[in-house]
Chains A and B, each alone.
Chain A
Amino acid sequence: MTVSTTVERESAESFEAEPLTDELERAMSSQRPARTSMPRADRAASGDRRKLRTATLDQRFDLLGALAASLALTTLLFGWFLPLTGIVGWVVVAFLLFIGFYALLVAIRSDRQDVKDRIMTVLLASAGIILFGALIFVVAYTLIRGREALPHLNFFTETMELAGPLDPLSMGGILHAIVGSLIQIGIALSITVPLGITTAVFLNEIGGRFARFVRTIADAMTALPSIVAGLFVYVAVIQLITHQRSGFAAAMAITVMMLPIVIRASDVVLRLVPGNLREASYALGSTRWATVWHVVLPTARSGLVTAIILGTARGIGETSPVLLTSGVTSVLNLNPFSGPMISLPLQVFDFVKSPEPNMIARGFGTAAVLLLLVLALFAVARVIGGRGPGQLTDGQRRRVAAASADDLRRMSRPSTTAVPVSPLPEETVE
């Protein structure tokens, strides 16, 4: 429809402009006035634009009416008629009644298909509400229970070395766990980032049978349960080599967990780099390494950073691998190679094992710190990422434009005498 009218308009215009020379001209000239024509914008009667998304008054009434009826009937049932109690039961009965009333109300005006459609939409929406409600509640619950411990400044600047389980919240803190987490994740990142990204580059840029094997193995490793990774490090590193739990061993366990995540995520990002960029680079005669370093990696930079940050968020929250490998301590330990070094998730776990209310409050405070850390990492990843490969920010675009203007000047300088080039700086820069 759209195509045919466009063709007609084009041919009509060209017919006006200059006579066509082939058979088309005869066909056009002998044609009777077209039955389909482009609507003229100024003549078409235009009313108010129809709103496609909003509900009609009827639909809103159905929804609100069913809601009111179900709430009223549930209250009646629970309060007067039936021996029912409990908030969960109330919600379930109210929901079932709501679905029933809604079906009834819709059925007054619509056929069966429509009733089914509306009921299913309501069910999908309620699945979403339950899920998002529960997830937000989990996060909010941690933050709210954590507010007891968080306002105490000493919570961030002291360790638990001198504070016992019965001491008030104004004594002791989790500095040692924060520092431990940072050291462990730092070591893990310094291994996983170079190794993971190089492996992902290997998978994408070199390829071949061995690369497929590596990809299969990395995929298999994402299935490794975290506790088994911890057990492996416990047996292979602690029992055989170091003979003591340490921050380094915990970092190894986190590395084993994070490596496949980073490889997979970077692999996906690198695969999104458009092939024509690579081909253009090769066509200009650059080597494979130059292509990777100057084209592939810069193009995928934002995606790679996102992949690493998300991997960090996963790694920093892993409890079970460090449970077996890092050891529990209440002392600040800056040396990852000797002595136990606790991290945030393990500290949470250790705090809530105690029955003392103050220790549980500390546990929730630590969990809130951990959660805020993960949320912050995630927010940073969103800000950096969210752009596909090759999409630039304004600043990057200005820099690229400046660089290409620079290139143009450089290239046109010696050739001004030899070959007259006709540089159009404005257009070329754009």
Chain B
Amino acid sequence: MPDVSATALPPVRRSLLSAPSRSDSVFRAVSYTAGATTVGIMLAVGLFLAVRAGNALSVSGISFLFEQRWSPETHQFGIAAVLFGTITIAVIAMCVGVPLAIGTALLLSEVVPGRMRSALVSLVDLMAAVPSVIYGLWGLFFLQENVIPVSEWISTYFGWIPFLAATDSSGHHLSEASSYTSSAFIAGIVVGLMVVPTQTSVMREAFSQAPVGEREAALALGSTRWGMIRTVVLPFGRGGIIGGTMLGLGRALGETIAVYLIISPIFTINWHVLTTGTNSVSALIALRYGEASEFGLSALMAAGLVLFIITLIVNFTASSIVARSRSGAETG
């Protein structure tokens, strides 16, 4: 062993910090500026919404959440009806989308063999990129007329469930086809199809990360494939299912064009989801921004702010659940 004291070591430790080179300091400055610009843009959006919405919110107060009518000119406005419509459409979309997404994700991660799997996975990714206006066109020109008999049938045989009923004010069952057009049900189906690809890819990713050892253990104990899925893949992918569902929910809540094309806007709460007339916050903004006065715009921004806060909560919950369910890098 060499004698440390004998060697010519300097008495003070060498500093491990080095002065950054010029290119490094420029790089650092540019990077920080880019990060700050991004934050600046994002905060500007948030602050602008909050400040401009404050004007309308200070006039309406808490009744903004409970008032159904929308006439800012007479200071009687609120988002109860539009928010209700937004949520019914999103809930219907989830009822359509989530079973399809879970089934397809399990199919892709567990059943389909190699080559076909990668082709189908790309197809799902491609579908997530199809513009929403195209889904809207399909819903408006094809789905609408084909769904009406289904709506009629459901309302006839399941009308005893309150929200599936289709009755007029005197309690008679509606039988004309025109009573079933432009409903929340149709908009919900279209939005559901639109968000399924997003949900499927999140869920498939979570399912395919279920540990191989535990899968093989289940199979080695004599489990069938479904038994293995039920006992290993589904419990392991639960975070992915919840997270994927909520990511899709966030998109469904904010969807504008497909909903705007299909619905016929009303400003009352319509519990009968199969019958004509519903509304959504984003459709309200698209509908009213043009003719809005200064105060009307402020009211629209308040509605947009509420929508943004809801999607923000949904998305953050989703990403925290997804992040907790899998370790390391996430893909998006």
Enumerate chain A interface residues (CB-CB to B < 8 A): 53, 86, 88-89, 113-114, 116-117, 120-121, 123-128, 130-132, 134-135, 137-139, 141-142, 145, 194-196, 198-199, 201-203, 205-206, 210-211, 213-214, 217-229, 231-232, 234-236, 239, 256, 259-260, 263-265, 268, 271-272, 287-290, 292, 310, 313-314, 316-320, 323-324, 345, 348-349, 352, 360, 363-364, 367, 370-371, 374-375, 377-378, 382
Contacts and interface: CB of A to CB of B under 8 A. Distances in A.
Contacts of A202: 31-32, 34-35
A210 B36 CA distance: 9
Contacts, number: 267
B131 A225 contact: no
B66 interface: no
22 contacts: A113-B223, A124-B106, A124-B111, A128-B104, A138-B138, A196-B38, A201-B31, A202-B35, A214-B39, A220-B316, A223-B312, A223-B316, A225-B253, A227-B254, A228-B307, A272-B329, A289-B27, A316-B131, A317-B134, A349-B257, A352-B141, A375-B126
B48 A228 contact: no
A319 B45 CA distance: 19
Contacts of B257: 319-320, 323, 345, 349
Contact of A374 (B30, B131, B149): B131
Interface stretch (B9-17, B75-83, B282-290): B282-290
Contacts of B250: 223
B311 A225 contact: yes
A236 B48 contact: yes
Interface string B97-139: 0011111101110111100000010110111011111110110
Interface string B241-283: 0000000001001101100110000000000000000000010
A113 B329 CA distance: 37
A319 to B, nearest CB: 4
Interface stretch (B168-176, B180-188, B193-201, B208-216): B193-201
Contact of B307 (A225, A288, A290, A345): A225
A224 B256 contact: no
Given A135-B193, A225-B256, A268-B331, A290 B38 contact: no
Given A199-B34, A214-B38, A265 B99 contact: no
A88 B150 contact: yes
B261 A127 contact: no
Determine chain A's interface SS by DSSP, over half rule. helix
B256 A319 contact: yes
Contacts of A375: 126
B329 A198 contact: no
A142 B134 contact: yes
A310 B311 CA distance: 22
B332 A225 contact: no
B21 A287 contact: yes
Given A116-B226, A218-B42, A324-B285, 20 more contacts: A89-B153, A117-B224, A126-B103, A127-B104, A132-B120, A135-B130, A220-B42, A227-B304, A235-B52, A259-B41, A260-B42, A289-B24, A316-B131, A317-B129, A319-B257, A320-B282, A345-B133, A352-B137, A370-B134, A378-B126
A379 to B, nearest CB: 9
**B24, B113, B126: residue with the most chain A Cβ atoms closer than 10 Å:** B126
Given A89-B153, A235-B52, A352-B261, A141 B35 contact: no
